[in-house]
Amino acid sequence: MKTVSEAKSHGGVQGVYAHVSSACHCDMTFAVFVPPQAAHRPCPVVWYLSGLTCTHANVMEKGEYRRKAAELGLVVVCPDTSPRGESIPDEKDNWQFGSGAGFYVDATQPPFSTHYRMYSYIIKELPELVGKTFPVDLKRQGIFGHSMGGHGALTIALKNPGRFRSCSAFAPIVAPSSAGWSKPAFEKYLGDDQAAWRAYDACALVEDGHRFHDFLVDQGTADGFLEEGLRPWLFREACEKAGIALTLNMREGYDHSYFFISTFMEEHLAWHAERLNAGH
């Protein structure tokens, strides 16, 4: 692992790091904020998954999470959203696919199946690296994200309820199998058989019996992607039928940007801290 940069912030350290990924077969970059409490004991960790077109840097520079994370004693890990590099298959004119748009799936279709393995990267490889390198308590993990990253957080939590104690999302894509801006990506990554898509669709996972104890979702009412791409009411309906507790906040006048995310970031971190610190 290579240290790209480190800077003191709110008594802790905000770092950016790079390593060669065995899952994605390329160099990957990620950010980690370590709070001051980590000097004395391992701290719970929250994974933040970013959305389409983003890298690790978007939330690091605009998310305004460090002050609250330092107060609560949370390590915050911000991975990249896809493999990157000249040799990585991509559609450079398509912001909804390829570079910056890995959708947190393990692709099964060539030529994407070699590199686009973001599910395995987030679930297995990166936690192992972070656990060996940073003062984290991997028995206390939470996950959240925005848009495509919200989709990733919901699906990963539903498939790994024993791994994560908390899950939340900002404006998640809750039913990517039927959303106009994600269906083409799923077809290219996962093939024509839509049954295979259900493993990466939050609504479908709930319908198929996957469970998680409770979710927090914030959604802006002025979000330009609300009607076509996000549709949080579908997830609410699925959770109600399954008996899953969901707090869905429709935030009047907020859009899809980091102005929205940063406004409610501290509420999400407090949500995670309450669940991650239970019994400690």
Question: Is 178 a known active-site residue?
Answer: no
What is the arithmetic mean of pLDDT over 185-190? 97
Provide mean pLDDT across the span 67-81.
98
Residues 6+ apart with CB under 8 A from 197: 176, 177, 186, 190, 204
Residue 22 is among the residues annotated as catalytic for this protein: no
| Residue 279 confidence (pLDDT) | 41
pLDDT higher than threshold 60 for residue 48: yes
Out of 138-142, 198-202, 213-217, 276-280, which region has the weakest mean confidence (pLDDT)? 276-280
147 labelled catalytic = yes
Query: pLDDT tens across 217-261, in order?
Result: 999 999 999 999 999 999 999 999 999 999 999 999 999 999 999
Which candidate in 147, 166, 177, 182 is catalytic?
147
In which band, very low, low, confident or very high, does the pLDDT at 181 lie, cut at 50, 70 and 90? confident
Spatial neighbors of 134 by CB under 8 A, at least 6 apart, are 32, 34, 38, 75
Catalytically annotated residue among 56, 146, 210, 256? 256
The arithmetic mean of pLDDT across residues 61-78, rounded, is: 98
Does residue 38 have a pLDDT over 60? yes
